[in-house]
Chains A and B, each alone.
Chain A
Amino acid sequence: MTLALREMRRRPGRFGIATVILTLIAILLMFLGGLLDGLVASSTGAFRSQRADALVYSASSRNSLERSRIEPEVRRQVESVPGVTRVGGLGSVQLGGRVPGRGTRDLVPTVLFGYELAPRGLPPTPPATGTVYADDSLRAKNVVVGTTIRLGSARSAVTVVGFVSDTRYTGQGTLWGSLETWRQVLNANRPDARVGPGVVQALVVQGGPLGRAGLPERIDRATGGATRTLTITHAVNALPGVAQQRSVFNQIIGVTVVIAIVVVALFFALLTVERTALYGVLKAIGASSRALFAGVVLQAVVVALIASLIGIIASLTLNELIPAGTIPFVATPARLVSSAVVLVVAAVLGCSFSLRRVLRVDPAAAIGGTP
């Protein structure tokens, strides 16, 4: 169908504006998608990086780490569930950190985690009391190895000994230390949330290869309903706002795709009307409707591909330009490619509205036709 391509090359103006509009829509799809991905990534990093099969909350915590409390007896019950190989405690506290070199009122929001079973990227034994690993995102806040951060109103000091990537929680940079570090900092800064010895907020559980199936249910049974256990994936989705963000954004993206289909349908409807005489002549000299329509589809695909390409470049540029910590936008290859695919499919669907009109062109009208 070089005829279709040649028309686009020789008449770029006519396809230019449609390409601009589809490019805007491509940018919208990629921006919305990237915003969603960024929001979700920054909320869920700490959990996604857990090397575990299940996360155990207390029953009344409503899957909220901050409200959950696991006492030592409950932990013992969990440890004795058949199929459970390793159990580690997890605790968190959200505090403002003072980093040297920043103003006294210029606090860095952080979440300090105490862990036993190491997430991805962290050493198997937690660092010594008073030392922590910092999430990569904190590098943007003047944090380097050796920085001592003072947390909370008690100015609890923790020293950074290394970095780990993609472990953010609820949009904030995280610090990872031992349970003892966590307990000390929590009790010093949050008297109303203080925990006794041996108490943690949640348990991270590993089951051996035979023990994974049905693990959450078995754990909850063993504790007599005092716990609510979720698989890690489930726990990630249950983090505040994640499921809702996904649903709202996906609906907006869905409507935008419908708009793309309508725009392409509109544009090609206009174009086909103009080409009636041309199609008449082509049909008269023996071109089949199928061949002509294939040309239309090809044009729609090319426009969508060009729009997607520009959209991808724009998204990557946006990724560079947006200062870290403002808009939570991230441009992942999966999102960019899937947006492009969706746009191409929408373009094909949109131009198929013109199929009937192409079929209806009567070659006999080419003879003796008016200009």
Chain B
Amino acid sequence: MTTPTESAGTTGPALEMRGITKIYRVADDEVVALDHVDLTVASDEIVALVGPSGSGKTTLCSIAGGLLSPTDGSVAVAGQEISGYSGRQLTEFRRNAVGFVFQTVNLIPFLTARENLLVVDEIGPRLGRAARDRAGQQLEELGLTDRAANLPTQLSGGQKQRVAIGRALMNDPSLVLFDEPTSALDSSLGDQVVRLIRNEMKARGTAAIIVTHDDRITHYADRTVNIEDGRIAQ
């Protein structure tokens, strides 16, 4: 299993999904969440994934991030084919290759901002000093140095999102997945966060998929993909 070491300037696409189908069995019914979806995201592209609730955008995001396995089709992240991975392989993949910023529970409530960033190192490579330096750098870039020792309860909504973004970048991922990053924020704060996301992604040349129904994000994204009833709208 190869892990990509450079995300900047890699020639291959960050994400390549072909013919992705996901079917859930609920009671006696079958629910088709995704129906033969194709999606390609370039190595430094920001894609906004827009659709009504129940459209399958969350499922798509989950499969791209290795949280779910598809019923059918192939998924390759930075050249790594993950559609056949076992649970353990997916866990290792997530640890090394992707970052997540969730809609709600992002941060560990009893850890400070700095410690939330360092969690990634603790469950992963355990680089020690190198990780601490990187965390410090990250906090500085995100303007959170004076908040480094604060617990999540002591941070504002916007600050919490910035910490979450910092954590998502700690393992130098090929792809970052954002799930409704601005839904809990008011308009000016949301605007700040979105601009921050774009800056950070572009500075590193990291690809991102942002699930949203917020128009401001589509404005900051390179491309918008519409999804409805499990299918990409062309």
Which DSSP category, helix, strand, loop or mixed, fits chain A's interface? helix
Contacts of A281 in B (CB 8 A): 102, 105-106, 108
**Would B179 and A284 count as touching, CB distance under 8 A?**
no
**Is A109 in the interface zone, CB < 8 Å from B?**
no
B100 near A367: Cβ-Cβ < 8 Å: yes
Tell me the residues in window 239-285 of chain A with beta carbons closer than 8 Å to chain B beta carbons.
277-278, 280-285
CB contact under 8 A between A2 and B122, given known A285-B167, A367-B61, A368-B179: yes
Complex contact B123–A366 (CB within 8 A): no
Q: Is B85 an interface residue (CB 8 A)?
A: no
Chain A residue contacts of B177, Cβ below 8 A: 367
Among listed B74-82, B87-95, B218-226, interface-contacting one: B87-95
CA A291 to CA B167, docked complex, whole Å: 19
Q: Is B122 in contact with A367, judged by CB distance below 8 angstroms?
A: no
When the two chains form their complex, are residues A285 and B123 in contact, meaning their CB atoms are under 8 A apart?
yes
| Minimum CB–CB distance for B67 against chain A, Å | 4
B67–A371 CB distance below 8 A: no
Q: Are A368 and B103 in contact (CB under 8 A)?
A: yes
Instruction: Give A351 Cβ to nearest chain B Cβ, in Å.
Output: 19
Contact digits for A352-368, partner B, Cβ 8 Å, 1 yes 0 no: 00000000000110111
Q: Chain A contact residues (Cβ within 8 angstroms of B): what range?
A: 20 to 34
Contact indicator B102/A369 (Cβ below 8 Å) = yes
- Contacting B103 at CB < 8 Å: which of A3, A10, A280, A367? A367
Known A-B contacts A281-B102, A288-B88; the reply to A364 vs B123 at CB < 8 A is no
Cα distance A203–B162 in the bound complex, in angstroms: 86
When the two chains form their complex, are residues A11 and B110 in contact, meaning their CB atoms are under 8 A apart? yes
Residues of A within 8 A of B123 (CB): 3, 282, 285-288, 291
Min distance, Cβ B101 to any Cβ of chain A, angstroms:
10
Is there a chain A Cβ closer than 8 Å to B34's Cβ?
Answer: no
Compute how far the CA of A295 lies from the CA of B28 in the bound complex, rounded to whole angstroms: 39
* Interface hub of A282, A286, A368, A370 (most chain B Cβ within 10 A): A286
Q: Does A217 contact B (CB under 8 A)?
A: no
Chain A residues with CB under 8 A of B67: 284, 363-364, 366-367
A285 adjacent to B100 (CB under 8 Å): yes
Q: Do A286 and B102 form a contact, CB below 8 Å, given A3-B122, A367-B62? A: no
Sampled A-B contacts (29; CB under 8 Å) = A2-B122, A3-B108, A3-B111, A3-B119, A3-B122, A3-B123, A6-B110, A6-B111, A278-B109, A284-B65, A284-B67, A284-B94, A285-B94, A285-B95, A285-B99, A285-B100, A285-B123, A286-B95, A286-B171, A287-B91, A287-B123, A288-B92, A288-B123, A364-B67, A366-B105, A367-B100, A367-B177, A368-B103, A369-B103
Residues of A within 8 A of B (CB): 2-3, 6-7, 10-11, 277-278, 280-288, 291, 363-364, 366-371
Besides A286-B94, A367-B103, 20 other A-B contacts (C-beta < 8 A): A3-B122, A6-B111, A10-B151, A11-B110, A277-B105, A280-B105, A282-B108, A284-B65, A284-B100, A285-B95, A285-B99, A285-B119, A285-B120, A285-B167, A364-B62, A364-B67, A366-B67, A367-B179, A369-B105, A371-B104
